[in-house]
Copies of this chain bind each other. A is one copy, B any other.
Amino acid sequence: MLKVLQNIAKHVSLTKEEEALFLSKTETKQFKAKTILLSAGEVATCTYFVNSGILRSFNINDNIIEHVLHFACEGWWIGDMYSYISEKPGNLFIEVLEDAEVVIITKENQQQLYQEIPKLERFFRILAENSLVSHQERLMDNLSLTAEERFEKFCSKYPTLIQKVPQKHIASYIGVTPEFFSKMKARLLKK
């Protein structure tokens, strides 16, 4: 079965007809690494589900410094929620880090789906709640843990990502500079 449907089935169960309806309102596309799916300043009109590959969302501060908000690999959803719900230009970029296949839902179609399959309202509620919890945890971690502890937590939480994405992006996600990250890593290897 398709990965999106499997993902939805984790929280709500759709009939075959509903699944077909859902799929008819989505589009699946392939993207090469380095493709930008969304740029800061644009209004986010879509939500993305990753079938394969890796994406990241990030913003750019003072036109110089990038901050990674989120990585998304197989089975994850990603988007710019702020821009999506406010329909205002957002601050996030969404970029393909590793060749990816992505399921795309436009906001328009998502709204229609909410009318036609109210169960999806529940699904996306649960998705938002879970995402909220992990953002809360990350926020508290940033307030109370050292960079080293945050890195360890990252490693145990996303073991596959460490080998696959440039470490400067992991540094950014953790909240340190690439230089400090490199030093910290060397220190950890000595132990």
Q: Which residues of A approach B to under 8 Å, CB–CB?
A: 59, 61, 65, 67, 69, 81-82, 85-86, 91, 114, 118, 121-122, 124-126, 128-133, 135-140, 142-144, 175
Contact = CB atoms under 8 A, between A and B. Distances in A.
Contacts of A67: 140, 143-144
This chain: copies in complex: 2
A96 B61 CA distance: 37
Given A65-B144, A144-B61, A128 B132 contact: yes
A56 to B, nearest CB: 14
Top 8 A-B pairs ranked by shortest CB distance? A125-B125, A128-B128, A135-B135, A61-B144, A82-B133, A132-B132, A121-B121, A128-B129
Contacts of A65: 144
A119 B104 CA distance: 25
A86 B132 CA distance: 13
A190 B92 CA distance: 36
Contacts of A61: 144
A22 to B, nearest CB: 17
A150 B131 CA distance: 23
Nearest to A124: B125
Contacts of A91: 140
A137 B138 CA distance: 12
Given A85-B130, A121-B118, A125-B125, A139 B137 contact: no
A135 to B, nearest CB: 4
Contacts of A175: 142-143
